[in-house]
Copies of this chain bind each other. A is one copy, B any other.
């Protein structure tokens, strides 16, 4: 097979003995153009498989219909559900999506924000890198094109932010454990509290306070990277202490699964001896034995709302930058790891 060359308006015009202007108008169904001409033009366009160059189009109209998306790490299941929501919503509104990773590095994030602008993205969806110390470039970007934060957000940025009810969700999870009679509830969280970790920790503390349970720092275990393996490790630390916890609230499913693995290894009964609750409702939470109680974090929904909000802002630009937080409610899903139905 041979390669083909690109068909342009000029090509069509030449072949049809028309001007480029007329061809352009015909393809766009301009009312001025005669039905006959429109038909001739469209037939040839079809025949030659003409595809308009959206680059030229967007370049002229200052609208590219591209949304830029920056996430810390694409290869997390939760991230991919966020992305799915973004793709679906973008698609429905005629937008394409450029995706890139910051790898949780601030430099990378800054660089990506710049390239997104260079590519003429109409707007940007950003989930902040964990190590974002300075939000300078974020503000710089925000002053030029619409930008919406989602999932990993920061109150310092005056823009629309899409989050779940982190604090309340954590409160509910811990309250659930307290309701089951648990009194020594440990938490597995991040060392450098990210927005999410911080909020969930606050919810944990408020629940304890509400039910008059003193905060015991021995039960507060932190780690740099809240992964499955670190969940295991921190649980081993908890088990080695003189007084063991009777419940573990992990701020991610992965850490919770690590906890269950550690408990299973030492034949600790779940939930009778130690109950476990996670956060995310990832697919993994139903694979582990016993199945994990967890907060359902509706990734696709968050992605859709984030994309929708951004597209709204693109269509109705604000003169001033304003903060606005959209909080999405979550539900606690109770499974065998915290409450075993008989």
* A interface with B by C-beta (< 8 Å): 1-4, 6, 49, 51-56, 58-59, 64, 66, 73-77, 79-81, 83-84, 87-88, 91, 96-101, 114-115, 117-120, 139-140, 142-144, 158, 228, 257, 264, 283-284, 287-289, 300, 317, 319-321
Chain B residues whose CB sits within 8 angstroms of the CB of A75 once the complex forms: 77, 80-81, 83-84, 300
Contact A87 B59 (CB under 8 A): no
Chain A interface main SS type:
mixed
Tell me the bound Cα distance from A250 to B101 in angstroms: 33
CB<8 Å pairs between A and B, sample of 11: A1-B142, A1-B320, A3-B143, A3-B144, A4-B143, A4-B144, A59-B59, A75-B83, A76-B80, A77-B80, A288-B288
Residues of B near A91 (CB, < 8 A) are: 100-101
Residue of A96, A257, A300 ringed by the most chain B CB atoms within 10 A = A96
The chain B residue with its CB closest to the CB of A69 is B99
CB-CB nearest in chain B for A96: B98
Q: How far is the CA of A106 from the CA of B231 in the complex (A)?
A: 42
Asked if residues B118 and A52 are in contact (CB atoms below 8 Å), the reply is yes
Is A119 a contact of B54 with CB atoms below 8 Å? yes
Q: Measured between C-beta atoms, what is the minimum distance from A229 to chain B in Å?
A: 11
Contacts A3-B319, A118-B52 known; A84 to B101 CB distance under 8 Å? yes
Considering the chains assembled together, what is the distance between the CA atoms of A317 and B283 in angstroms?
Answer: 43
Chain B residues positioned under 8 Å from A58 (CB to CB)? 55
CB of A297 to closest CB in B, whole Å: 13
Closest CB of chain B to A323's CB: distance in Å?
Answer: 11
Residues of B within 8 A of A99 (CB): 83, 87, 97-99
The answer on a CB contact under 8 Å between A74 and B64 is no
- 7 closest Cβ pairs, A-B complex: A55-B120, A75-B84, A54-B118, A80-B80, A1-B321, A75-B80, A4-B143
Determine if A140 and B80 form an interchain contact, defined as CB atoms under 8 angstroms apart: no
Is A2 touching B143 in the complex (CB atoms < 8 A)? yes
